[in-house]
Structure 1
Amino acid sequence: MKGNKGRSTLVVLGRTKLGLPAVLLFCSLFCLAGFFGSILLSQNIPVGGVPRVRVLEELEEEGEWRAMAHGETGESMISSIPFQVLSWKPRALYFPEFATAEQCQAVMRITKSKLRPSTLALRKGETEENTKGIRTSSGTFISASEDPTRVLDYIERKIARATMIPRDHGESFNVLRYEIGQRYAAHYDAFNPSEYGPQKSQRVASFLLYLSDVEEGGETMFPFENGLNMDIGYDYEKCIGLKVKPRQGDGLLFYSLFTNGTIDPTSLHGSCPVIKGEKWVATKWIRDRTKELM
């Protein structure tokens, strides 16, 4: 309009006339609100201000992990191994899909012809005769270096990452097969010096890789989980307590020792009888010293 030179432009909102400075102020406020709102949404902070735990898949998809410079014995990539804590007493962790079905089948294939009746480490006063029936599986020992497929090499490296205990602290794999009715009565993987004599090294942890599904039975059981059943005159042949059902490719890690090096009494465990099907498992016992010092 004529005669309006030098005046601020007017904007009409409803019946209210706003000058240019006011318009700019409102625009700035809207921009700031949008900016901070996008930050809150990206942080997954719901109403109430409590942040949600962001799942691993989201982090991986968004590419938020950056590999760090590493030492001579380190690795150049970041790896993720999903797990679930099954128990703190004993410390037991479950690793879903730790190995593929093809890898499991390869291990069964290369060890099947080598299976022999399983044996026991005998306590003072025990003999093979008076311990019959405690462990009725068949099995064999095989090191990763003896596997031409190199599947066990891959699995051994992955176990080292999962446990944060170097490979050279592990015994050879003990591959076991349990047929219908076969089991392993409750026992400890660590060796009590008062029962087995002085030990040069001790088993810290055990990693079980289930090589097959089991239709019924065959669970790994922890009868003393969280201190239960320890004062009832427990029958070591019963299958009670925390039970872990075998699923092909899944892994189970549990620790036999406390962090001070003494035996965890709740780490007592066994294998329930197979009722239907067949159970295959590869066990890796991990020591507190390297192979050269065992």
Structure 2
Amino acid sequence: MAERPAEIQAANVKLLEELCQPGDFLEGKIRGALVRETFKATATCPSCRKIQEERDYVLKSDLWNVVCSGKCEFHEPEACYGLGVVVHALCNLQNLMSEEWYNQAAEHIFKCLSASEKIPDTQEDKLARLAEVIAVVGLAVGVRAFYRSLPEGPLEEPPLPTAAEGKPRFTSAAEVFNRLGPREGHGWGAGLNLEDVKPGLMVKGAKFIGGEFSKRKFTGLSPMNKWAPALSAGSLFLRWATVVYSPIQNGYESHSFMFKKAPGRALNRVGLEDVAAGYTTAVGAASDAMATWPLPKR
């Protein structure tokens, strides 16, 4: 990192600017509020900290009600357009989440957004907006954690940009599918492990051809699969990760990348994963002891 401070700083500044612009389904003012709330709430909210301290007594199926009744301190007007409870859970309580929480979050986001704009009342549209909220908050957490992990001196945390005016790119999930259109030989979705496919599985009355939808075509373990539902935010992540983490383009997404150093990088993928594993273990131990959480504010 020491040899590339300007490149890394520029990538972070650009990402923050783009996160505060209109997205696929969210206005710029909403995304900007999500980013600001994330920066101010991550690892600092007293209510979230109390929930973590008492996590052994929190039922994951009841997390939504626990957060809503926890009286979190919100920093954006109108509790971050009503989305503050979602932001705080995403940035502070990931380890307590369950499928129930995501379903309740999708309904809550729809309720908040539909109060001021007309949104199709479909499950696809609810989940699409949830995916974008998760992507914006997740990227903001990543940028904030990056700067908080640095020693004093190398890089200064950039100021949060003003939210950009403008409407989202799409009005509905159906519009996305119609605009993308079918392309022969292309697909969008997670892959399947062939060994997990049940014999005799049928698709639209025809025999299922498992190989066409296997990991040979879609890499189910690829981190980019997690970002696919977020559309343009996934593209932002890819560009940012290419600078800050490691190149995922130009052949470095292949298996050889596991043992091959990318240009200008000191570690290959195996080395990076070793570092990540060590970090996760250390943070996990520290979290159990509640000794270093929250981190000192920069």
Greater gyration radius: 1
TM-score (norm 2): 0.26
TM-score (norm 1): 0.26
More strand by share: 1
More helix by share: 2
